[in-house]
Amino acid sequence: MTKAQLDNAFLTVSEAGEKAFVPYIMAGDGGLESLNERIRFLADSGATAIELGLPFSDPVADGPTIQAAGIRALEAGTTVQAVLDEVAKEKASRNVPLVIMTYLNPVFAYGVEAFASACAAAGISGLILPDLPLEEEGLVVEALQKHEIALIRLVALTSTPDRIRALAERAEGFLYAVTVAGTTGERATFVDQLGTHLQELKEISKAPVLAGFGVSTPEHVKELSQYCDGVVVGSKIVAALHQGDRQQVAELIRSIKQA
């Protein structure tokens, strides 16, 4: 059921002729007690799915905004278990799929099989591990399959054609198209060839293609979503929630409808 919930959400969006919007939030930033309320707010604002960051001490794929959010969450005492327990509370009533984004070590320390099992119990649909390339995914694939958790793979601008093909063929949940050569965080512009790159991915991917990293304005959302199935917005959402600017978050999510 878990993985299927994510697939269904994308199917619903695409059948309506719309694009997907997946906001990222850092679990524990702003207090774990506000987590479920934030998830409801994002779902009510129109999020297709929600990416839930589990903080890690050494987030090499993240820029300053998400790094800072992770430090706030860790300083507030956020643990893997506490986050899973918290989201499990509203599993039955939640109407939006959740995907966890974290690094391999917290999962490894928890135990890969135990983590996959706990994710399934908490109603998590997918897992994104930016420091787990194709070459190493054998560490987690079996456990995730067993518990029907999608392993969401990232494709980079630097990926070679053979790697892109391999990633697209294995794609499940969605294929995460990294839109910049670099870390997460706001950018003014993207490379010229990005549109073509996204279109090519969409042609061969077995799962929806979502663009992310550096997507931060309604203009970005409109521009990028025309080439693929939707967008992931992280740093901008994290920063706006931290500042208490929910209106900006809602406007960003709405911008996908005008795409």
Partner 1 sequence: MAIYPTETGHYGSFGGRFVPETLMPAILELEKAFKEAKEDPDFQEEMRYYLKQYVGRETPLYYAERLTATLGGPKIYLKREDLNHTGAHKINNTIGQALLTQRMGKKKVVAETGAGQHGVATATVSALLGLECIIFMGKEDVRRQALNVYRMELLGAQVVSVDQGNGTLKDAVNEAMRYWTANVEDTHYIFGTAAGPHPFPQIVRDFQRIIGDESRKQIIEAEGKLPEAIVACVGGGSNAIGMFYPFVDDRDVKMYGVEAGGMGLPTGKHAASLTEGKAGILHGSLSYLLQNEDGQVQEAHSISAGLDYPGVGPEHSYLKDAGRVTYDAVTDEEALEAVRLLSRTEGIIPALESAHAVAYCKKLAPVMDKEDVLVVCLSGRGDKDVNTIREAHETGGDSYD
Residues of this chain that interact with partner 1 (CB under 8 A) are 55-61, 63-64, 67, 71, 74, 79-81, 103-110, 130-136, 153-160, 163, 167, 178, 180-183
Distances, alpha carbon 74 to alpha carbons 10, 56, 108, 244, in Å: 32, 8, 18, 20
Beta carbon of residue 101, minimum distance to partner 1 (angstroms, whole number): 12
**Of the residues 51, 172, 223, 229, which is catalytic?**
51
In the complex with partner 1, the residue whose CB is nearer, 17 or 138, is 138
Q: Do the Cβ atoms of 1 and 147 come closer than 8 Å?
A: no
| DSSP state at residue 157 | T
* Chain-centroid distance, C-alpha 245: 21
| Known catalytic membership, residue 245 | no
| Known catalytic membership, residue 62 | yes
Beta carbon of residue 63, minimum distance to partner 1 (angstroms, whole number): 8
Beta carbon of residue 16, minimum distance to partner 1 (angstroms, whole number): 31
In the complex with partner 1, the residue whose CB is nearer, 33 or 162, is 162
In the complex with partner 1, the residue whose CB is nearer, 158 or 243, is 158
What separation, in Å, do the N-terminal and C-terminal C-alpha atoms of the chain show?
A: 30
In the complex with partner 1, the residue whose CB is nearer, 201 or 256, is 201
Sequence-distant (6+) residues with CB within 8 A of 21 are: 46, 47, 48, 221, 230, 231, 233, 252, 253, 256
**Of the residues 7, 29, 62, 223, which is catalytic?**
62
Beta carbon of residue 128, minimum distance to partner 1 (angstroms, whole number): 11
Nearest to 45 by CA among 234, 251, 222, 220: 251
Active site residues: 51, 62
